Amino acid sequence: MTLEERKKQIEDRVAELTANLQKIEDDLDQPLPAHLEDQAIDLEDDEVLERLGRTQQQELRLLNDALRRIADGTYGVCAKCGDDISQARLDAVPYAMICRDCAA
């Protein structure tokens, strides 16, 4: 995959996560129902949505960091040892900052 293709892949994922986070925010802003049992269910659902939102926010930060590394020319270079990060690792983890050897 070329660097431009990788950048597009990351930008597409950023857009997807941004849309998902907006949906989560909209769902969390909904008022609670009047019935207590329904409120309990909604509160449990809200907890799940909040955890999902935090996870997606973290991924979004990592992806934005990867886009900054693409812009400054350090994308695909291990932050620990300076070796190239394998394409297979970048395929699996497009925001990887360290190579497989350093991660192990």
Q: How confident is the model over 48-86, as pLDDT tens digits?
A: 888 999 999 999 999 999 999 999 999 999 999 999 999
Residue 29 in any domain: the answer is: yes
Q: What is the extent of the structural domain holding 15?
A: 3-75
Tell me the C-alpha distance between 90 and 16, whole Å: 19
- Residue-wise pLDDT tens digits, 8-21: 999 999 999 999 99
Please give the pLDDT value at position 38.
67
Residue 90 in any domain: the answer is: no
Contact 90, 6 (CB under 8 A): yes
Residues 6+ apart with CB under 8 A from 96: 85, 89, 90, 103
Domain count, the chain: 1
